[in-house]
Structure 1
């Protein structure tokens, strides 16, 4: 291996170790009622808000939170969002989904909907609202191709911010019983010395873990009635 090749490799490895994408996350949890309960076999569905172009919660985040709950608690069954929405079409599509527990009660006034909810033993809804956005970027990079080959040179950074809130509805009382909010800010790096190396902050994944862990704690404290 030539000196230049060794230098390039050493530079890449050093940059990779020194500049790993990092995330700062804050999670807030509010329990609005102390008398949370579950019956054996109860189920819960985690749904994302998608009612407008501005409010499009990522399906990947909703699935991640549902998966975290599935792994973290055996007290309640988790029904996937897609399965639930398909089963209750069109009542929980983007433009028709209820925004408040009182509106949900009106939906359940439909005998067919109420019968399905009862058959699936759904006790809690967890609504997830928010998004991850690019909030800042800096740096530059140039790429070229010549007779001897090509490559990219430069350095760039960008910042992503995740801002999400989950609300927990109890279908027995048609009330909101809890709320979890999270804000995650992560900085990613893209150094390039011939080959660009993205060092990404896992902002959405960190937000999922923060909210998912808090929701697991929320339901872990609940006693199950046989």
Structure 2
């Protein structure tokens, strides 16, 4: 059996927004094994991986990707994660969620589960795994109270890294059809001359937008 595999690598150069944002670099990678075909009325669901009580892909990242996918050009019909989870409780909780595509067969043995999938008309499940973390910080800011009020002086920086991977499962054909990864690195600044002024790199938000745009391309490019 031959597999058609294509690699698409897109790199967005650093960009700057005065005062409100720091510097962020986003790298997107895509691996597509087979075509993704959505017909009218079919849906996708975006779910974050939660492997234990102390690890989960941030819900706000999942919500962000879903919102971008469902709006603008080439929008997709996205089932909100919480709606999906509530209707299929407890089958997509950390201890019971399928880790591999073939595990879907185990769930489909339950009529209530397969019926919910049919009700939502789900064709693709997009699993998101990853997180955003602070990787480095430096500098210091000192504040003191004087006759004129509180004054601060100093300079601080901190780096954040966001790494996420989306695995696209074809529910109807029970197979993994591709992956999209998003990596964002950003540096935030906090200069303080009397008043601290944060210049924040929107690392997680930029990782979300980059991944969602590429996921739209994943589906719409397949449909030609």
Q: Gaps spanning 5+ residues in structure 2: where?
A: 1-16
Please give the residue correspondences for 1:48-127 in structure 2 after superposition, counting only pairs within 5 Å.
Answer: 48-53=48-53, 55-72=55-72, 76-127=76-127
Rounded to whole Å, the distance in 2 between the matches of 1:78 and 1:17 is 34
- Which structure dedicates a bigger proportion of its chain to helix? 1
**Residue in structure 1 matched with residue 11 of structure 2 by the alignment:** none
Q: Give 1 or 2 for the bigger CA radius of gyration.
A: 1
Rounded to whole Å, the distance in 2 between the matches of 1:160 and 1:180 is 20
Aligned residues of 1:69 and 1:212 also touching (Cα < 8 A) = yes
TM-score calculated relative to the size of structure 2 = 0.87
**Residue in structure 1 matched with residue 171 of structure 2 by the alignment:** 171
Deviations 1:74-119 (A, max 9, x none): 5641000000000111111122211111112211111110011112
**Residue in structure 2 matched with residue 209 of structure 1 by the alignment:** 209
Deviations 1:30-64 (A, max 9, x none): 10113x32232111100001122563111111011
Q: Gaps spanning 5+ residues in structure 1: where?
A: 1-15
- Which structure dedicates a bigger proportion of its chain to strand? 2
TM-score calculated relative to the size of structure 1 = 0.86
**Residue in structure 2 matched with residue 31 of structure 1 by the alignment:** 32
Aligned residues of 2:63 and 2:80 also touching (Cα < 8 A) = yes
Q: How many pairs does the alignment contain? A: 208
Please give the residue correspondences for 1:123-162 in structure 2 after superposition, counting only pairs within 5 Å.
Answer: 123-162=123-162
Rounded to whole Å, the distance in 1 between the matches of 2:159 and 2:84 is 34
Aligned residues of 1:38 and 1:222 also touching (Cα < 8 A) = no
Segment drifting more, 18-27 vs 140-149: 18-27
